[in-house]
Structure 1
Amino acid sequence: MPEPVLPATARTLLARTARAQRDGRAPSLVAGVVRDGGLAWSAGRGDVAEPHADVQYRLGSISKTVTAVAVMRLRDEGRLGLDDPLEDHVPGTPFGDRSVGQLLSHLAGASAESPGGWWERVPGGSLEELGLDGGDVVLGEARRFHYSNLGFGLLGELVARARGRSWDDVVAGEVLAPLGMTRTTPRPSGRAAQGWAVHPWADVALPEPEHHAGVMAAAGQLWATLDDLARFAVFLLGDTGDVLAPATLEEMAVPAGVDPSSPSWSSYGLGLQVLRVDGRTLVGHGGSMPGFLAGVFVDREEGAGGVSLANTTSGLDPALVPGLLADLRAAEPRVVDAWRPAEPPVPLEQLGVWYWGPAPLALRAVAGGLLHLGPLPGRSGRASRFRRRDDGTWVGLDGYYAGETLTIAADHLDVGTFVFTRTPYDPAAPVPGGVDDRGWTLPASEA
């Protein structure tokens, strides 16, 4: 069991939650923070049944992350590749040439919504009943990020066909049950909140409909309690159990099409939203369906997560969960593990300063048996971590050299044709283009 937050911290978190419920005019709101494997604090505001953490709310697009986990399980089993065209797995759609990975990252150019009635308020049917055609392809592949509920409906169909069972059954058996999310279901079950639309100019509310979205269920169907959403936050923090390899979860959280060295950005990985907020990287997903808003985001460096569920169509401050995490971090910052000596993954003489042309960079050993190549303190420049391959080379994990090969020789490093030497443009090393015989000298003045 996680240690509860301190009383002063609990009051700060409650104050933020109470203000969000009042200002957002949510009929009810439940929220919590997660650390050390579970809920360390939670509260309910408004018309909330008790115990508040066991009332179901609709998750909306958080369902997409659950769908993405099911897809990545198929990938890890060798049943599909992220570069596979959709046609290989779901033939006959206008997106046959778009890849599985593009659909997961909203880069497939699929329309935001499915054709026909608004799927979030109209009961859905099968993929065939959607009647997709070329008009549902709105952008070229990999041209730009374009959020697509339809794309995740197609991914849900892929999962169902690959497993020979409905999407509902696959995610229940492969994701929800193993994570202990026993109160997460496709339709409300047991104690569940009514979804409401609150009038913009008066304090009255209108009930929102509830239904099964058919093939579009994979984009937003699930209902869950705060307790269950907290368990999913624990999963996102890295406690993946038998559901997914930690390295696969890490892969899902890599932003697509955005430079993560920028000080502030919002992006999408493989079924995961990746946000940069006040210098912190948050991973998770928001959700909305008529009558409901939800959020789950984690700060993996801090080892903490935040969750929220409300039964209102709109109006709730989207900064609630990041704000709860900021409050927790300020009041009870994580005490990191003590540094311990570790055997470096390469001989010591291979570490230290190397030069890309005249620019100095440092190759250092870092935790987990990795290497880090980056600028010296106080300098800017490219930086990447590398993991050793079985053949003795190293592969870039992030930054500019992600996916590139690093080879370490006695007198130079080679990274994707860039050669780093022990001294600037060392003439004894294989510098591309060679080194001028005149060496380092004063430039001649121009006549």
Structure 2
Amino acid sequence: MTTDETVEDLGLLPTTRRALRHRIARAQNESRVPSLVAGVARDGEVIWEGALSALDGVETDGRTQYRVGSISKTFTAVLVMRLRDEGLLELTDPLEKHLPGTGAGQATIADLLSHTAGLAAEAPGEWWERSPGTLRPELSDVLGEEPHRHPVGRIHHYSNPGYTLLGALVEEMRGEPWEKVLRTEVLEPLGLTRTSYGPQAPYARGWAVHPWADALLPEPAHDLGRMAPAGQLWSTTRDLLRFAAFLLDGDEEVLSAASVREMRTPAAPSLPGTPESAYGLGLQVLSGAGATLTGHMGSLPGYLAALLSHEGERLTAVVLANTTSGLLVGTLAAELLGIVAEAEPAMPRLWRPMREVDPAVLELAGAWYWGVTPYGLHCGADGGVELRPLKGTGRASRFEAVGDGTWRGLDGYFRGEILRPVRDADGAVTHLDLGAFVYTREPYAPDSVVPGGVDARGWHGQVESG
């Protein structure tokens, strides 16, 4: 069965819909996938769905569950960030402070979230993805006698046991199983009714495809037990598109926009040899072709999954397939985003004026100079400000109001730094202080506070050599 007309108002041009369907059809054919379902949303609204099934009598659509593997890690990361936002822990805390006795306690919470804890990639013993979780009932069975492969905090080394520890941390601090905490604190508030610990009909069975013949072999689908926070979940394209929208904008009932933005921010480079990729706090960050995509990929025997978002275009894409290998699912999701972004780029948002003008903020607008380099400071309707060079390249950043007359950097070189207007005894702004950088209204004015001072003779023309 094939479907790509399951959304009442698709909101895309026929040529775009055909291009999307053609792309998944080519992927299904070339990679020999038993079934594949994909979806694209813009601003949280599904604008296209496509489904392909090569199995007689088996139908699939946006409500069909597939196993999503390591996308489960992003859900676990959300739970950890909630603990941080509630003040129950700091990301800089060593794990030992909250979950003692693991043998990996010197790693910080942030190290575990960003895969920089130096832990082994996999659990010891037999192939954990194809064996029952009952073989690893304790954390010691997941970590083994020598859990580390690298020094803590040095490099990015993807670790499934690391996210098992984070799941155990959630259980320790909430006093409830990871599954129950996830359902109560994330799935139910976000309305993810088709995301679950185990499969719920209708769901797609997992298959392996013979490498040299068009033949299928069923894959096992074991309960991962202790390893569940690293890869257990089942979900659908519609649920994951809703989750992806949350990862862009946040939801005050679950996690703020600032905290999900923090998750999307690179915290560590990815594996050596992949300079275009990085890892945030439970999210992969992929850069290339002029766009930055965030999300996560997942795989378990019989299943491949990808969730990616293009923040600038307000687009999200999800691809789910029931095959063990062969399909470059992340590449496919990125290409679906690219098709829509190129054919039907997002309409610019309607410009609106400020509701109220704060004279103290308006006073800062205009040209400022770092040394002799001109910058422009723009005050936005959202209460934030933006500082950018007026020509050439330079250190551009956006800032959000802190509430005490200062602004905190959101991106670029000055992310996290404080922009502070400095006033004289009469209350007039003399200069801007930004992380030890001084911005003045005039370039090197004689009476300015530029570090190192300014020659009192001021500007002049040609001078004799010597």
TM-score scaled by length of structure 2: 0.89
Q: Could you tell me how far 1:367 is from its partner in structure 2?
A: 4.3
Aligned pairs for 1:268-347 within 5 A: 268-317=279-328, 318-342=330-354, 343=356, 346-347=360-361
Q: After superposition, give the CA deviation of every residue in 1:61-115 in whole Å (9 maximum; x if it has no partner).
A: 1100111111111111111111111011111122211111111111221211122
Q: Could you tell me how far 1:131 is from its partner in structure 2?
A: 6.2
* Equivalent-residue separation in structure 1 for 2:151 and 2:195 (angstroms): 36
Q: Could you tell me how far 1:17 is from its partner in structure 2?
A: 0.7
Question: Do the aligned partners of 2:38 and 2:51 also contact (CA within 8 Å) in 1?
Answer: yes
Aligned match of 1:86: 95
Q: After superposition, give the CA deviation of every residue in 1:181-219 in whole Å (9 maximum; x if it has no partner).
A: 222122222222221222222222322211111111111
Code of the aligned partner of 1:310: A
Code of the aligned partner of 1:421: T
Question: Do the aligned partners of 2:139 and 2:165 also contact (CA within 8 Å) in 1?
Answer: no
> Secondary structure in 2 aligned to 1:94?
coil
Question: Do the aligned partners of 2:142 and 2:161 also contact (CA within 8 Å) in 1?
Answer: no
* Equivalent-residue separation in structure 1 for 2:211 and 2:416 (angstroms): 50
Aligned match of 1:138: 149
Aligned match of 2:404: 391
Q: Could you tell me how far 1:60 is from its partner in structure 2?
A: 0.6
Aligned match of 1:55: 64
Code of the aligned partner of 2:122: E
Question: Do the aligned partners of 2:102 and 2:139 also contact (CA within 8 Å) in 1?
Answer: no
Q: Go from structure 1 to structure 2 and tell me whether the alpha carbon gap of 1:175 and 1:443 turns closer, same or farther (over 3 Å shift).
A: farther
Q: Could you tell me how far 1:236 is from its partner in structure 2?
A: 2.4
Larger RCO, structure (CA 8 Å, separation 6 or more): 1
> Secondary structure in 1 aligned to 2:249?
coil
Q: After superposition, give the CA deviation of every residue in 1:160-201 in whole Å (9 maximum; x if it has no partner).
A: 111111111111221112222222122222222221222222
Q: Could you tell me how far 1:439 is from its partner in structure 2?
A: 3.9
Query: Unpaired segments of 5 or more residues in structure 1?
Result: none
Aligned match of 1:151: 162
Q: Go from structure 1 to structure 2 and tell me whether the alpha carbon gap of 1:274 and 1:218 turns closer, same or farther (over 3 Å shift).
A: same
Q: 2:225 aligns with which of 214, 219, 222?
A: 214
Aligned pairs for 1:6-405 within 5 A: 6-47=13-54, 49-124=58-133, 125-130=136-141, 132=143, 135-238=146-249, 240=251, 242-257=253-268, 265-317=276-328, 318-342=330-354, 343=356, 346-377=360-391, 379-405=392-418
> Secondary structure in 1 aligned to 2:189?
coil
Identity %: 52
> Secondary structure in 1 aligned to 2:350?
coil
Question: Do the aligned partners of 1:292 and 1:312 also contact (CA within 8 Å) in 2?
Answer: yes
Q: Could you tell me how far 1:21 is from its partner in structure 2?
A: 0.8
Mean CA deviation greater in 235-244 or 24-33: 235-244
> Secondary structure in 1 aligned to 2:226?
helix
Question: Do the aligned partners of 2:250 and 2:260 also contact (CA within 8 Å) in 1?
Answer: no
Q: After superposition, give the CA deviation of every residue in 1:223-250 in whole Å (9 maximum; x if it has no partner).
A: 1122222222232232625222222111
Q: Could you tell me how far 1:258 is from its partner in structure 2?
A: 5.7
Code of the aligned partner of 1:391: D
Aligned match of 1:414: 433
Q: Could you tell me how far 1:344 is from its partner in structure 2?
A: 5.4
Question: Do the aligned partners of 1:2 and 1:38 also contact (CA within 8 Å) in 2?
Answer: no
> Secondary structure in 2 aligned to 1:341?
coil
* Equivalent-residue separation in structure 2 for 1:83 and 1:405 (angstroms): 21
Aligned match of 2:426: none
Question: Do the aligned partners of 1:199 and 1:206 also contact (CA within 8 Å) in 2?
Answer: yes
Q: After superposition, give the CA deviation of every residue in 1:413-446 in whole Å (9 maximum; x if it has no partner).
A: 1111111122222231222122234544546546
Code of the aligned partner of 1:399: G
Code of the aligned partner of 2:44: G
Q: Go from structure 1 to structure 2 and tell me whether the alpha carbon gap of 1:438 and 1:117 turns closer, same or farther (over 3 Å shift).
A: farther
Question: Do the aligned partners of 1:127 and 1:157 also contact (CA within 8 Å) in 2?
Answer: no
* Equivalent-residue separation in structure 2 for 1:444 and 1:200 (angstroms): 80
Question: Do the aligned partners of 1:2 and 1:35 also contact (CA within 8 Å) in 2?
Answer: no
Code of the aligned partner of 1:432: P
* Equivalent-residue separation in structure 2 for 1:36 and 1:403 (angstroms): 27
Q: Go from structure 1 to structure 2 and tell me whether the alpha carbon gap of 1:203 and 1:186 turns closer, same or farther (over 3 Å shift).
A: same
Q: Go from structure 1 to structure 2 and tell me whether the alpha carbon gap of 1:137 and 1:2 turns closer, same or farther (over 3 Å shift).
A: farther
Q: Could you tell me how far 1:53 is from its partner in structure 2?
A: 2.0
Q: Could you tell me how far 1:18 is from its partner in structure 2?
A: 0.4
* Equivalent-residue separation in structure 1 for 2:61 and 2:235 (angstroms): 12
* Equivalent-residue separation in structure 1 for 2:384 and 2:332 (angstroms): 36
Code of the aligned partner of 1:3: D
Q: Go from structure 1 to structure 2 and tell me whether the alpha carbon gap of 1:211 and 1:432 turns closer, same or farther (over 3 Å shift).
A: same
Mean CA deviation greater in 159-168 or 226-235: 226-235
* Equivalent-residue separation in structure 2 for 1:69 and 1:287 (angstroms): 17
> Secondary structure in 1 aligned to 2:432?
strand
Q: Could you tell me how far 1:129 is from its partner in structure 2?
A: 4.3
TM-score scaled by length of structure 1: 0.92
Q: After superposition, give the CA deviation of every residue in 1:381-400 in whole Å (9 maximum; x if it has no partner).
A: 11111222232222212111
Query: Unpaired segments of 5 or more residues in structure 2?
Result: 1-6, 423-428
Code of the aligned partner of 1:314: S
Code of the aligned partner of 1:277: G
* Equivalent-residue separation in structure 2 for 1:204 and 1:195 (angstroms): 13
Mean CA deviation greater in 12-21 or 278-287: 278-287
Question: Do the aligned partners of 1:197 and 1:208 also contact (CA within 8 Å) in 2?
Answer: yes
Q: Go from structure 1 to structure 2 and tell me whether the alpha carbon gap of 1:357 and 1:239 turns closer, same or farther (over 3 Å shift).
A: closer
> Secondary structure in 2 aligned to 1:101?
helix
> Secondary structure in 2 aligned to 1:391?
coil
Code of the aligned partner of 1:30: V
* Equivalent-residue separation in structure 2 for 1:239 and 1:128 (angstroms): 32
Code of the aligned partner of 2:430: D
Root mean square deviation of aligned Cα: 2.2
